[in-house]
Amino acid sequence: MKRLLMAAAAMSLLTAQVTAPAFAGDDAKPKTEFGNPDIEKPAEFVTEKTGTFNGKKVSYRTVAGDTFIKAADGTPEATFFTYAYIKEGVKDPSTRPVTFIYNGGPGSASMWLHMGAFGPKRVIIPDNPADDGAPPYKVVDNHDTILDVSDLVFIDPVGTGYSRALGKEDPKKHWGVLEDGKSVARFIHQWIDNNNRWNSPKFLAGESYGTLRSAVVADQLTNRHNIGLNGIVLISTVLDYHMSRFQAGSVMSYVSFLPSYAATAWYHDMLPNKPKALEPFLQEVRDFARTDYAEALIAGARLSDAKQAEIIDKLHAYTGLKKSYLKATNMRINVFRFFKELMRDQGKVVGRLDSRYLGEEPDSAGEYPEADPFSYASGNAYTVAINDHLKNFLGVKLDKRAYKNSAYSDKNFTWNWNIWGKSLPNGGRMVNVVPMLGKAMRRNSDMHVLVAQGYYDFATPFFGAENAMAEPPIVQDRVEYKYYQSGHMMYVHQQSRLKLMHDVRAFIEAYDHEKDGK
């Protein structure tokens, strides 16, 4: 049976500091901010820890607590309850980078990156594509995190974790592409000011929708707050939804997904003639996808029968799908159909977030899977781990707030996809924030971008990320790419997690301009 390993011994060092605690004789009402009974004063919980990261012993302080963002008149509008890990003994903060970390959704808390990759503790789930089962789960010291080279601040956006709108503030003012980006940028500005970190090297690290958020936040910080970033880490990147969302008349989604279909078919031995090496094979598929395949899709009804047969032969070789199926779909492979179709004869479906994972369903006749095998194989461990970590490692005690994995638990949660103004082209969902990221890069000659992609990710396909980052606004010579033989959350795979930590650490060290003497 798995044994849960938590840091109970460290609790002797815990100093839980809640601003203005109630004492005997005080009335039972909580102390409030600005005389508003709906706004309690910010809570803060601090502990002192030591750990070994990348072979280096680090003494650090954990700070879990509220940071208010305020209106022009000083009234608090919302609180970001965040988790900071700060190295002790640093005389000059300008020599110490700080990295702001968040997940995506939209509407997700940061627990995945917190407990899976970057936090000082991490939860272990099976390294092979298998179900995480039931508790207790094993939580261990994360010796591979980047706390040796950067302070870490994990951000739960408004409506997630313990973060929330305050007073009469409508949380929907923080729920949207622009609303969320502005809100998170305001928090980062406030945190920098509160902690006197103005001259520290600064990095963003976001996963999935968090990469889209990073583009908006970078634009806001650069152009509204005059705060420069040293670098951005995009983990499982989605910046231009034309590359990853299927819509009638658009060909780029079919082009962008094809190499991911090929990688998945290669992994599950579904190719008619499987190449020995994955990466040279995927380069061949990329080249076909952006040339012959894209031209064939654009040609549509103008494509000759002979050319169609030639393209279908290639698609069959690259995906393992039956030629009759490829012809019936007009050579347009929808990812949600692919999940079921690839291994239909074996009665299996492949995962969306990580296509290494397989699921079995009641029948093999359906067109779409009933659920994502990866999602139901991995979610329980992270939920348990973050709640246990907050209470027993960080010492967070908040009786009046429940931790929310996702803002979707709020029945009023909706997301505003409109970044254009009054009109919403294409229903408002085909968002493209590449121009925002490009503008931030062009206005800051020191800002670099690391793109980290899993080969087996169907939520944010790696070729879709490459196609988006190839758009003209991006400064190409300041972008680097890293790939992992895993899925959307590449860090669930041990070898990929170690590579990701190595790649991010090297990225921060390369662009920490205080260290390199710039």
Contacts of 255 by beta carbon, 8 Å cutoff, 6+ apart: 289, 290, 293, 294, 297, 463, 467
Distance CA 115, CA 491 (A): 10
* Residue-level pLDDT at 366: 83
Residue listed under structure tokens 């041990």: 494
Q: Name the class of domain 8-242+378-511.
A: alpha beta
Beta strand 15-18 pairing with 348-350: unpaired
* Residue-level pLDDT at 33: 55
DSSP per residue, 419-454? -SSS--GGGG---B-HHHHHHHHHT-TT-EEEEEEE
* Residue-level pLDDT at 231: 98
Distance CA 243, CA 258 (A): 11
* Residue-level pLDDT at 488: 97
DSSP per residue, 133-166? -SSPPEEEE-TTSGGGT-EEEE---TTSBT-EE-
* Residue-level pLDDT at 516: 52
437: tokens are 């990221």
* Residue-level pLDDT at 364: 81
User: What does the H/E/C string look like for 113-127?
Assistant: HHHHHHCCEEEECCC
168: tokens are 């009469």
* Residue-level pLDDT at 295: 97
Q: How far apart are the first and last CA of the chain?
A: 52
The amino acid that residue 279 corresponds to is E
* Residue-level pLDDT at 363: 82
* Residue-level pLDDT at 249: 76
Mean pLDDT by 10 residues, the chain (518 residues): 36 33 35 59 95 97 97 92 97 94 97 98 89 89 98 98 94 96 98 96 98 98 96 98 84 96 98 97 98 97 97 98 97 96 95 95 84 82 95 94 93 90 62 96 97 98 98 96 97 97 97 59
In a 3-state reduction of DSSP, which class is residue 81? strand
In a 3-state reduction of DSSP, which class is residue 310? helix
Residue listed under structure tokens 């400064």: 475
User: 195: number of CA atoms within 13 Å, CB side?
Assistant: 27
Beta strand 164-165 pairing with 76-87: antiparallel
* Ranges of each domain in the chain: 8-242+378-511, 249-374
**Nearest partner of 202 among 451, 442, 512, judged by Cα:** 512
> Which stretches of 73-155 are assigned E, i.e. beta strand?
76-87, 98-102, 121-124, 138-141, 151-154
Backbone angles phi, psi at 221, to 5 degrees: -65, -40
Distances (CA, A) of 434 to 188, 229, 428: 21, 17, 16
Residue listed under structure tokens 């009234």: 75
